[in-house]
Every structure is written in structure tokens, then in C-alpha cells.
């Protein structure tokens, strides 16, 4: 994995992290004000590719202009397809509509789809790119913290169905990721916080020092003081790139570690109807706290570590309890049923990412349904 920091012409520092996947390797560029030079950066990775941008209405209104200008000036702009913001856009009807609009814009095999938005746009546009004309190139320009540290890297694309989240999708690596940290200035505090949960995840699953730093300096990350925010994004991207390089298609178990908190979290999100009631990152925060508490109950993890995690999430304002979900909350039976829909179920056996402590996650491939059921019974009553 190449990892280099360089000062571009405007003096701002930027970092390039390579995701090492042989002939499908690609750079993640992290820096400020990358949108204005997007055309040159895309042309360097994909010479002569014309670009169709997929975005949502919020991001398009706030940030499309400099990107569109850069691509238009270079005569690489095919047009934009704009969807409604929110998880509901990760659906079959919206996928069909986006794909047809991309064809109408004239996207050809040698062109590329630019996913310009948060994880919803990234997953949706990435999926569309992977099936359009049997696959056109993809550039990710993530605009939320969650997308910059997680969803834009690693090539998972997909949509949701009634049965659960991301059950339909592809592995489809982008050719380039441009993470412009400046666009995060317009992100709502709630969305920033939800993305921060995925930043914490990298500390919890394999980097205790990173967690300790976040626990101490998280306010600098939120306030963008010094280089704290960029450090958080870079460390997260480096961690994700390393995992993806080792286990691109989640076959050896390494990549599965990135699902810490996700089996619980996805079940809670499905229950809440993928709505504003519970954002993805918020569900994952509750899920990670549950994974720690479950590990303590199983005698695997020191209780102090679980307490530190819970206290950290509470300090930053993230939910930690099932009861923190506004409105109706699920019964243990409902949760168990939703967890059983998870992609990590193999031969009827439910796997969970558990922990031996902060920074020490592992996959437990055979969770006993009785012990999980008893655990959920307790947690659903916890206030
Ligand atoms: N593919 C993967 O590996 C992977 C990993 C983690 C999460 N995900 C997926 O990511 C999705 C969640 O992503 P998300 O949290 O980015 O949600 P999102 O895409 O819904 O974005 C959150 C909100 O922020 C707005 N927004 C985006 N950028 C903005 C900006 N710069 N300024 C102001 N507003 C902005 C959006 O319009 C939206 O309303 C989920 O669907 C989840 O399943 C995928």
C-alpha cells in the first residue's frame, strides 16, 4: 500500500493512499478543495473517459457547481442524475430510473459514473455503474464523513429490499476516490456524528491507540481543529484499504471484521424502516456497544472496555441503547428474526464480530441462538 503526503500547487497538504488490488488498485486522495481539479485528477486515472455525475438534491445544490465546471471546462461532462436524499433511494425503482437516465445521457463503455454524495449515492451509483453496459468505470467523490472513511472505499455497492439492507449488490471497485474534506463543512452535526461512529469502529476493531486518541481528542475532530479531522479520515482510510487489500470479497474473514456492530445495527435499521428515526451510523454505534456487552457477558472482554466504549459514544452524543431509538422499539423476537436475515448467516448459523477488548475484534462463526436470545431479552428492556 503506497501512502504519500504531498503539497499540491495551492499549498494545501493532501495524502494519497493506494488500495492495493493488483490491476484493480486505485488511489484514495484526501485533501481540501479537490472538486475544482476533479477533471485533471479523473483524466489521470481514466484518460478520455467522459463523466456522468450521480448525486442527491442536497449535495447537488451545495457542491455540484465546482465539479461540473471542472468537468465541463475539460469537455468531459455528460450531465447529472439527481436522486432524493435518504436511504429510500437505495431501492430497485430508483436503481432502474438512475440506470435509464445514465443511458439517456449517453454513457458508453469507456465513460465513467461519478458517485457524488454520501453512502447512499455511492452504493446506488456504484451498483448502477457495475451493471450499466455490463460495467462502466466508477469514480467515488464521497461527501459525508461516513462515505469518506468507509463506503466509498472497498467496492461494496448495493440497494436495500424489504428483507434487509444491502442484500442485492455487487463488489465493484472504483478507479479513484477523491475525499474533499472541505465539503464536510456543510454536513449536519447529526450526519457528522453518525459518520464518526464508523471512524471509532477502526479503533475498536484493531487499533486501541487510535481509539485512545479519539477518546481524548474527539472534540478537535468535530471542530476541525488542527489536523485532527484529516488524521481521523486518513487513519480510517488506511485501515480500510489494508483490510480490503487482504480480503477484497470477504472470503478469509479479515474483511468481516469491518462488520463490527453491523449485524445488530442492520437489524435495528431494518426495524426502524431505514428512516431518519435511526441513521446508519447511529445504528452501528448501538450495534458496537451491543457487541462489546455481548462479549463481556460471554466472558471474552473486560467489562471496563465495554464501559469506555459506551461512555465515549454517550460523550459525543451517539445512541447506545435500543431504547434510544425514538418511537416504538423492537421485541427480542423481532430483532432475532431480523438478525437471521443477515448476509453473515451461513448454513443457518449466525456469525457475529465479537471482541476480546478494545482493538481486538474477531469473528465468532457460530453464535448460540439461546444465548443471543437471552441477551436480546435483557437489552430490549435496558433503559
Ligand atoms: N458500501 C459500503 O461499504 C458501505 C459502508 C458503510 C455504509 N454504507 C452505506 O452508506 C449509507 C449511509 O451513508 P451516509 O451516512 O453517507 O448517508 P447519506 O448518503 O444518506 O447522507 C446523509 C445525508 O447527508 C446529506 N449530505 C451528503 N453530503 C453532504 C454535505 N457535504 N453537506 C450537507 N449534506 C450532505 C445527504 O443529502 C443526506 O441527506 C447506508 O446506506 C449504508 O448502508 C455502505
Is 378 a residue of the active site? no
What local confidence, expressed as pLDDT, does residue 141 receive?
A: 98
How far apart CA 267 and CA 273 sit, in angstroms, is 10
Average of pLDDT values for 202-207?
98
Task: Please state, for a pLDDT cut of 90, what percent of the chain lies above it.
Answer: 86
Distance CA 336, CA 352 (A): 13
Tell me the C-alpha distance between 224 and 231, whole Å: 10
198 is catalytic: yes
| 274 — pLDDT class (breaks 50, 70, 90) | confident
Q: What is the mean pLDDT of residues 49-59?
A: 98
pTM above 0.85, yes or no: yes
Q: How does the average pLDDT of the chain come out, rounded?
A: 94
Return the closest-CA partner of residue 28 out of 130, 195, 151, 125. 151
Mutate to test the pocket of ligand 1, among 28, 58, 64, 118 (most ligand atoms within 8 A of CB): 118
From the CA of 279, give the closest atom in ligand 1. 15
Nearest CA to ligand 1 atom 9: 119
Q: Which DSSP helix (H) or strand (E) runs through 160?
A: strand 159-161
Place of cell 461494496: 156
What pLDDT was estimated at residue 369?
87
Q: CB under 8 Å to 340, separation ≥6 — which residues?
A: 350
Question: Does the Cβ of 207 fall within 6 Å of ligand 1?
Answer: no
Paired sense of beta strands 137-142 and 176-180, if any: parallel
Cell numbers at 186, concatenated:
456543510
Amino acid at each position: 500500500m503506497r501512502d504519500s503526503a504531498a503539497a499540491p500547487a495551492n499549498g494545501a497538504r493532501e495524502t494519497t493512499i493506494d488500495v492495493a488490488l493488483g490491476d484493480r488498485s486505485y488511489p484514495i486522495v484526501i485533501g481540501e478543495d479537490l472538486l475544482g481539479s476533479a477533471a485533471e485528477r479523473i483524466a489521470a486515472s481514466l484518460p478520455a473517459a467522459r463523466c456522468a455525475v450521480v448525486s442527491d438534491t442536497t449535495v447537488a445544490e451545495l457542491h455540484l457547481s465546482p465539479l461540473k465546471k471542472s468537468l465541463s471546462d475539460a469537455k468531459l461532462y455528460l450531465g447529472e442524475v439527481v436522486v432524493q436524499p435518504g436511504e429510500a433511494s437505495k431501492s430497485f425503482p430508483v436503481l432502474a430510473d438512475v440506470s435509464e437516465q445514465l443511458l439517456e445521457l449517453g454513457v458508453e463503455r469507456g465513460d465513467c459514473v461519478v458517485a457524488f454524495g454520501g453512502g447512499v449515492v455511492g452504493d446506488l451509483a456504484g451498483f448502477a455503474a457495475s451493471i450499466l453496459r455490463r460495467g462502466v468505470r466508477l469514480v467515488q467523490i464521497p461527501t459525508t464523513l461516513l462515505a469518506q472513511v468507509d463506503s466509498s472505499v472497498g467496492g461494496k455497492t448495493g440497494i436495500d429490499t424489504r428483507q434487509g439492507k444491502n442484500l442485492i449488490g455487487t463488489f465493484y471497485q472504483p478507479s479513484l476516490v477523491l475525499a474533499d474534506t472541505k465539503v464536510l463543512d456543510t454536513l449536519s452535526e447529526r450526519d457528522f456524528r453518525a459518520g464518526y461512529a464508523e471512524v471509532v469502529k477502526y479503533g475498536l476493531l484493531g487499533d486501541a491507540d487510535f481509539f485512545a486518541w479519539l477518546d481524548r481528542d474527539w472534540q478537535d475532530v468535530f471542530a476541525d481543529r488542527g489536523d485532527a479531522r484529516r488524521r481521523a479520515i486518513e487513519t480510517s482510510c488506511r485501515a480500510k484499504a489494508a483490510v480490503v487489500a487482504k480480503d477484497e470479497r470477504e472470503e478469509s474473514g479479515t474483511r468481516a471484521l469491518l462488520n463490527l456492530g453491523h449485524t445488530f445495527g442492520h437489524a435495528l435499521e431494518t426495524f426502524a424502516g431505514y428512516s431518519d428515526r435511526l441513521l446508519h451510523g447511529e445504528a452501528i454505534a448501538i450495534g458496537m456497544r451491543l457487541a462489546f456487552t455481548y462479549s463481556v457477558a460471554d466472558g471474552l472482554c473486560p467489562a471496563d472496555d465495554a464501559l469506555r466504549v459506551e461512555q465515549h459514544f454517550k460523550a459525543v452524543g451517539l445512541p447506545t441503547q435500543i431504547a434510544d431509538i425514538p418511537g416504538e422499539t423492537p421485541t427480542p423476537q423481532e430483532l432475532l428474526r431480523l438478525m437471521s436475515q443477515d448476509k453473515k448467516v451461513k448454513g443457518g448459523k449466525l456469525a457475529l464480530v465479537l471482541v476480546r477488548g478494545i482493538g481486538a475484534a474477531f469473528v465468532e462463526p457460530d453464535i448460540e441462538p439461546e444465548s443471543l436470545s437471552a441477551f436480546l431479552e435483557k437489552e430490549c428492556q435496558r433503559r
